[in-house]
Structure 1
Amino acid sequence: MKKVLILLLLPFVLSGCKIALNGASIPAEMKTVNVLVFENNAPLVVPYLSSQFTEELKTRIRNQTSLSITQNDAHAVFSGNISGYSISPVAIQDNNAPTAGANRLSIRVNVKYTNNLNPKLSFEESFERFKDFKLQGQSLQSIEQGLIKDVTAQLTEDIFNRAFANW
């Protein structure tokens, strides 16, 4: 009889909590989020980076939460800009003339997260990630989009974790 009672009451007890397997701890009352376009203000501008980063952040939120993305008033808002984009050598080879043995693509994003339900959880921070690569006879243009996708995946994970996993 106790087991039946526990099983009947369990959904009511858990309804006040929102549990996710990805480590996120989103309050049950949070239902909506607005992700504004992250403008590209980096000195070196890649035309599609702004829209790609913004969409990657929305996709991560859609895939890892039950939050609805809205353009209206939301319980949480992400805004910011891309403030850095660079490609630099990280390993020099000296085969009579110094050349880059490896390169690094770095992206820096300034993020403002506003939690309208609990303003204490709001933050403004910069996030930066990079990926090292070798050209190996390829042009940068042929691999750049894939590198950007890898780096934005790291960035959106960091931002998501900072907002929803309280690290």
Structure 2
Amino acid sequence: MKKFSYILIFLLIATTQSCGIYGFTGTTIHPDVKTVQIDYFPNNAILVEPTLSQEFTIKFQDLFLQQTNLDLVKSGGDLQFEGEITGYKINPMTATAQQTAAQNRLTITVNVRFFNNKVEEDNFEQTFSHYYDYDADAQLTGGVLDDAFLEILERITQDIFNASVAKW
């Protein structure tokens, strides 16, 4: 019975100990990192959707506030993100028998510069992109545009998050 108690205590200690840089959200944030700075991402694409920059920036900031315990600051963050939206384009994807588009694809591309001021070897500059397919008969306005932004921005912001602090 005494041997069983030692094994139980060992397992309890082993399962409750942590290396100090792993979080339950899958992040590997250094323990010294306390703040994140996410600058406004201007829309430098040839085709400009007026609300895209603001929606992207807010969605990206919200992701960090929800999935980490970092404080959002306007300057001097331990983690810093800056960049620009470089692509916003609509292309026909599939054709009908009448040689017209049956489906269109909206693609958004974002260039990101990430600076980890505590662990500088984590710094990177990378382009992230995602798309949304929609019926060619639909106009890319209202609910269709909202659905497209929701899917694309969720995917791009999560990809940036994974590349910077989850190391996926």
- For normalisation by structure 2, the TM-score amounts to 0.86
Distance in 1 (alpha carbons) for counterparts of 2:128 and 2:10: 48
Gap runs ≥5 in structure 2? none
What is the CA distance between 1:74 and its match in structure 2?
1.1
* RMSD (Å) for aligned C-alpha atoms: 2.2
**Equivalent of 2:96 in 84, 93, 108:** 93
Instruction: Supply the AA of the counterpart residue of 2:105.
Output: R
Alignment of 1:10-21 (within 5 A): 14=18, 17-21=20-24
Task: State, as a whole percentage, how many aligned pairs show the same letter.
Answer: 31
Find the residue that maps to 2:158 and give its secondary structure.
helix
Which residue of 1 is the match for residue 115 of structure 2? 114
Indicate the structure with greater strand content.
1
**Deviation by residue 1:2-53 (Cα, 9 ceiling, x = unmatched):** 6779979x97x54x61332332111111110000000000000000000000
What is the CA distance between 1:149 and its match in structure 2?
1.8
Which residue of 2 is the match for residue 127 of structure 1? 128
**Deviation by residue 1:103-152 (Cα, 9 ceiling, x = unmatched):** 1110000000000001100000111111111145x322131122012101
Find the residue that maps to 2:49 and give its secondary structure.
coil
* Distance change in 2, residues 1:29/1:6 (3 Å): farther
Distance in 2 (alpha carbons) for counterparts of 1:7 and 1:92: 60
Gap runs ≥5 in structure 1? none
Instruction: Supply the AA of the counterpart residue of 2:81.
Output: F
Find the residue that maps to 2:96 and give its secondary structure.
strand
What is the CA distance between 1:62 and its match in structure 2?
0.8
Instruction: Supply the AA of the counterpart residue of 1:83.
Output: T
Distance in 2 (alpha carbons) for counterparts of 1:93 and 1:21: 47
Distance in 1 (alpha carbons) for counterparts of 2:100 and 2:58: 36
Which residue of 2 is the match for residue 56 of structure 1? 59
Deviating 4+ runs (over 3 angstroms): 1-8
- For normalisation by structure 1, the TM-score amounts to 0.87
Count of residues in Structure 1 that have an aligned counterpart in Structure 2: 162
Contact 2:101 2:136 (C-alpha < 8 Å) held by counterparts: no
